[in-house]
Amino acid sequence: MPRIGPIDLGEFPLLLAPMEDVSDPPFRALCKQHGADLMFTEFISSEGLIRKAAKGMKKLDIFEQERPIGIQLFGGSEDAMEEAARIAEAVRPDLIDINYGCPVHKVVNKGAGACLLQDVDKMVRLTEKVVKAVKLPVTVKTRLGWSEQTKNIMEVAERLQDVGIKRSASTDARGHSCTRALRIGR
């Protein structure tokens, strides 16, 4: 039975993905009502959070009835991620999740999201900083690799496990972790 730190998720849990502009509290309430076992906030920019940007702060809104819930952070700076993780921990989520999967330009250009898959050493350092910064379990959401030719998930999973992550999660198998709601449904 999968556990993440102290969180018992039951047999074969169903997780709601962190989706920008979708996984907000109103939508999460519906998913919880219909059986989601673990949910995540939309991804939150660590750079925004450490500057107390309103957009990021609003995304820290989590509610008792949503538990267990993870706050997802992204960023390419180890210091910013460390500080953002502490800010996120203060609102008392059940875990902190790091986004290593988002392939969109505005994220990758800042050395964040899936970009880190191109520099596993940095990914490991960044993860370790976050793990050490907080008492909460830390999980990651990543993908198989940066490109079809560089699928390095096996190395990534082993090395991140070694620095203390609790779930090498939801290994997104493809290019969709940042699909926007407006483009869905066509």
Binding site residues, another protein, CB under 8 A: 2-4, 9, 12-17, 19, 21-22, 24-27, 29-31, 33-37, 61, 103, 114, 141, 144, 146-148, 151, 153-154, 157-158, 161, 165-177, 179, 181-182, 184-185
Between 18 and 75, whose beta carbon lies closer to another protein?
18
CA 6: distance to chain centroid? 18
Q: Are 85 and 98 in contact (CB under 8 A)?
A: no
Instruction: Specify whether 31 is catalytic.
Output: no
Shortest separation between residue 79's beta carbon and another protein, angstroms: 26
Q: Are 40 and 19 in contact (CB under 8 A)?
A: no
Residue 137's CB is within 10 A of a number of other CB atoms, namely 22
Shortest separation between residue 96's beta carbon and another protein, angstroms: 15
Between 34 and 52, whose beta carbon lies closer to another protein?
34
From 10, 1, 17, 31, select the one nearest 139 (Cα to Cα): 17
- Give me the torsion for CA of 20, 105, 100, 93, rounded to 10°: -30
Between 42 and 83, whose beta carbon lies closer to another protein?
42
Q: Roughly what angle, to the nearest 10 degrees, separates helices 153-162 and 120-133?
A: 30
Between 41 and 83, whose beta carbon lies closer to another protein?
41
Shortest separation between residue 8's beta carbon and another protein, angstroms: 11
Residue 125's CB is within 10 A of a number of other CB atoms, namely 14
Shortest separation between residue 150's beta carbon and another protein, angstroms: 10
**Catalytic residue ranges:** 102
